[in-house]
Structure 1
Amino acid sequence: MPFHLPFLPRRALFVALVAASFGLSVPQVGQAQVTSYKLAVAEALAKDDSIAAFYRARDFAPIWTGASAQDLARRQALFEALAQAKSHGLPATRYGADGLIAMMGTVRNAQEQGEVEVALTRAFVAYAHDIQTGILKPGDVVSGIKREVPLRDPALTLASLMQNDPRAAIRALAPQSQEYARLMKEKMLLERKLTQGGWGPVVNSGKIEPGQSGPAVVALRNRLIAMGYMGRSVSASYDPDLKAAVMQFQGDHGLTADGVAGRDTLGQINIGVEERLQSILVAMERERWLNLPGGLGKRHIRVNLTEFNAKIIDDGKVTFETRSVIGAVPADRETPEFSDVMEYMVVNPSWYVPRSIVVKEYLPKLRDNPGAVGHLEITDSRGQSVNRAAGFGQYSASSFPYSMRQPPGPSNALGQVKFMFPNKYNIYLHDTPSKSLFNSEVRAYSHGCIRLGDPKDFAYALLSRQTDDPEGVFQSRLRTGKESTISLETPVPVHLIYRTAFTSAKGRINYRRDIYDRDARIWAALSDAGVVLPTQGS
């Protein structure tokens, strides 16, 4: 028996179809229809082992298309979630809600009920996958993202739906972090601002300083008012209130907070709502990639590459923070994104020069002058020093048979300590003798590893959980001048992330430059997948 509904407006039709009870409730029909239903489900799930196992375990009993109040509640919860997919930055058309409604309206027999049952399950599983762990496979979009996305077993997700209130179970699919909630709130605010026309005219000026007045100052003031950085004012002068607003904006955008609206500051001020909204949507997708079942760790280390800093987080609060230097912009020097676990630190480390640096940077110098880079030891496969007098002109990048090492010392490239979370990318955190680089606004200078501005204090913070005298323990090793290892009694998760938009508990949204052009590529992929922005002024 099909659903038979009179003509209704779209919303009423949706409600009627979702709320309607299926005329073919499997427990109440003959064996032939039961068999037909089961065969339809089994055939449709032949290539989906996990979902098929879920249905076999319940003898193919329906979870959506039965006549029970529980089935009705799950249907309603599913369609409500699909209707709200856009609020999470998901592509609303991806889950085929309209097609599902059409299928539900034309069910005439047990086989068609089985087909609808599977279609609803597929829509739910697709939605659950996307909202839990993201739409994209990150490494396919950006090769520098080495993150392993924590995919869930669809059968376990379906089981959770069955064991809990369906609305609560579906709400729990999304990341439960405060970061995700705040990004979602900012998304709604920006969408509203975009439909209202944005932040108004851009500021056409090269530089505006305190004390100036005129149209450019008025445009700057109006732009900052629209962004919420200051209250309404009709002043045409660059007064202290405007300077304070500029400084707040600069701090929120990783700029030197000097209160002068120079080229870089105006460049950031003139970025439109659409581009900022894209950054928010990319950040939400990235947060889904980090939606680990066990969380990020009660204590963990977080390095936001675009922010150029490293933080120790304890129970959700930043307990230590230091500036960092990351990989330079050429692709072969960019710092990758991944998560691992820090196990130990090395005090007075040697620097074992990566092969890529040996053959690209040092071998050409050695060919011209065997005495070049004299601060480095050249060793053979047995670890014995190589006599430089024989020269190196006969070697190419592929045939050079030696390794290079810089012994511990004050000029060592790794400084006085390195922090190890062993990984196949040979990335770690470390000290550096090049302290002046930490004064730069954009700190992308390394070969890929992450240099810390305050490495000793970072070490003390890590060791504070396992000794009453972390500084004494560290300094006693340092004074020996010899390379030694201090293990962390409780290893600490490390997350190397890349966020051009991120939030804080009390402050405004923060934005940073897309230094590696990664978020631009992710947005393009999201757009290709069907994620859309509202139309300006609509």
Structure 2
Amino acid sequence: MADEVAIQPSLAPQATSNFLSNAQADQVWSDVNRAALIAELGTLSAHGLEPAHYHLARLKTDDLTAAERDQIATDAWMSAAAHMLSGKLDPVSLKPEWTADTRDADFATVLAYALATGTISGSLEQFAPIQSDYTLLKADLARLRQHSALPIARVSEGDPLKPGMESARARQVQVRLIEMGLLEADTLSGQMDDTTVSAVKALQAQEGLEEDGIVGAATLRALNRDDQTRIDQIRANMERWRWLPADLGRRHVRANIAGFDVTTYEDGVPQAIRAIIVGNPKRKTPIFSDQIDYIVFNPWWETPSSIARADKLPLFQKDPGAVKRQGFEIRDSAGRVVPPSSVDWKSYTASNFPYRIRQAPGPQNALGQVKIMFPNAHNVYLHDTPNRDLFSLKQRALSSGCVRTKDPIGLAEWLLSDTEGWDRAAIDQAVATGKETRADLAEPVPVHIVYFTAVPNGCGGVRYLDDIYERDSAVLTGLDTEPVALKSE
């Protein structure tokens, strides 16, 4: 189900009133400045915003008094500036856990200067995100809009199409693959034959999907993605960039849920990309920003109460021996260790389970050998996993919310590179002890858990990812909805 969305409360009413109260001239907006504003609002389309949402129609009319023009023009500029700076939508309405710092600006000072110097043109552009990824999305949005978006041969919804199947939908797949240049024009058998399956696998490889040759839900979305779909995807992701702080950190970590990867950055340059496993659709990984403070090697796993009740209690009821076999420790509400043999597991339910569960360091520990900590209200962090074979999968929305990362030792080494006494040899020695060991970073490193479905492809273009949590539609709904505070009376 798509997330609901609330439009960010406009700064315009109060900001407009304050600005006009402090204005020095009786008429703030001259004819020249109004004309420049009309043209400037038109540039919002290049950022995925709708110019019509900012009084554009009324500004173009000639029946406004000077006072009305000042009011409407100031309101339009203030609102557009606020939306360019920190987004049209309130990210908290989409995801209540959102904690990233928003960007800030002195709109009144900027507008006063622009009006006085006749530089309204270009005055809104300065509030756009400066990150290269945003610039790339903006460029691809312009490129796509230049095309005369021709209709594509769509594949209808239905059950997964597997190798060997024959149907009208299989023929639709072949038509679309031919259109995409992945299949020869004479291949219209209506059967998922070897040639067609190979073409499907080629598409899946391009899209970062599991290369199984099966046309399931994700592959179907990739087949049916036309230019307009890409345009919408870009607009949603440009809005997400406006929610982030201007400074992500000279050295920072960025984990993209939709991309199943975590990237380390230094001075704006990617250093290394590692595969990650993220929360499944029922236990989605939250989106937020924080800072990494310390790392724990050979960590105990303090099993979250929700997982203890929903997962571990049913397991222990079915197999009481799993408690000791998997290295779990049971503690009561006072923190005392409770012998597992003394617990009548079947007498408890998820609603009355009174115990705290911990798992000792070891080969079966759910956190593996490394836990990278940025204490937060969601109890989410980056960590190792004993199930490293899962990194071979392309679709990795498999966890209970935390982010499992490939090569956690290498990531820890990068994080600790400025911390005295924690070179690779010291890290390896700490891991080898098998005992829980904490390493505090000399300086905290910002970490951003983000959700981008349109990202750089590494070759100067954009790669479009599967919207695994079905979040893009909510953002688009908000972008396409006229702000209530700006509707014409």
TM > 0.5 fold call? yes
Higher deviation after alignment, 389-398 or 83-92: 389-398
Whole-Å separation in 2 of the counterparts to 1:192 and 1:433: 49
> Where does residue 286 of structure 1 map in the other structure?
240
Equivalent of residue 140 in structure 2, options 179, 186, 194: 186
Q: Which has the larger radius of gyration?
A: 1
Structure 1 residues 503, 221: CA separation in 2 closer, same or farther (over 3 Å shift)? same
Whole-Å separation in 1 of the counterparts to 2:113 and 2:180: 46
Aligned-pair identity (%): 33
1:65 aligns with 2:29: yes
> Where does residue 136 of structure 1 map in the other structure?
89
Contact 2:97 2:288 in 1 (8 A): no
> Where does residue 41 of structure 1 map in the other structure?
none
Higher deviation after alignment, 121-130 or 270-279: 270-279
Whole-Å separation in 1 of the counterparts to 2:209 and 2:261: 14
Whole-Å separation in 2 of the counterparts to 1:243 and 1:186: 30
Whole-Å separation in 1 of the counterparts to 2:342 and 2:49: 63
1:414 aligns with 2:378: no
SS class of match (1:99):
helix
Equivalent of residue 303 in structure 1, options 241, 255, 258: 255
Gaps of 5+ in 1: 1-44, 108-112, 210-214, 531-538
> Where does residue 44 of structure 2 map in the other structure?
85
Equivalent of residue 272 in structure 2, options 309, 320, 328: 320
- Residue 399 of structure 1: CA displacement? 3.8
SS class of match (1:487):
strand
Structure 1 residues 298, 148: CA separation in 2 closer, same or farther (over 3 Å shift)? closer
Structure 1 residues 506, 316: CA separation in 2 closer, same or farther (over 3 Å shift)? farther
The TM-score with structure 2 as length reference comes to 0.81
1:351 aligns with 2:301: yes
Whole-Å separation in 2 of the counterparts to 1:91 and 1:383: 57
> Where does residue 271 of structure 1 map in the other structure?
225
Whole-Å separation in 1 of the counterparts to 2:225 and 2:26: 51
Equivalent of residue 337 in structure 1, options 284, 287, 301: 287
Equivalent of residue 404 in structure 2, options 418, 427, 451: 451
Whole-Å separation in 1 of the counterparts to 2:474 and 2:87: 15
The TM-score with structure 1 as length reference comes to 0.74
Whole-Å separation in 1 of the counterparts to 2:422 and 2:260: 29
Structure 1 residues 480, 474: CA separation in 2 closer, same or farther (over 3 Å shift)? same
Contact 2:154 2:172 in 1 (8 A): no
> Where does residue 534 of structure 1 map in the other structure?
none
Whole-Å separation in 1 of the counterparts to 2:199 and 2:146: 23
Whole-Å separation in 2 of the counterparts to 1:387 and 1:127: 63
Structure 1 residues 76, 245: CA separation in 2 closer, same or farther (over 3 Å shift)? farther
SS class of match (1:410):
coil
Deviations 1:43-101 (A, max 9, x none): xx9972x5555555x5644683358xxxx4x4343221112322222122211122123
Higher RCO structure, 1 or 2 (CA under 8 Å, sep 6+): 2
Number of positions where the alignment pairs a residue of Structure 1 with one of Structure 2: 456
Contact 2:252 2:264 in 1 (8 A): yes
Deviations 1:17-49 (A, max 9, x none): xxxxxxxxxxxxxxxxxxxxxxxxxxxx9972x
1:166-205 alignment, distance < 5 Å: 166-193=120-147, 195-199=148-152
Whole-Å separation in 2 of the counterparts to 1:163 and 1:319: 45
- Residue 434 of structure 1: CA displacement? 0.7
- Residue 510 of structure 1: CA displacement? 0.8
- Residue 148 of structure 1: CA displacement? 5.5
Whole-Å separation in 2 of the counterparts to 1:149 and 1:86: 22
1:388 aligns with 2:352: no
Gaps of 5+ in 2: 1-10, 165-170, 189-195, 484-489
Structure 1 residues 261, 191: CA separation in 2 closer, same or farther (over 3 Å shift)? farther
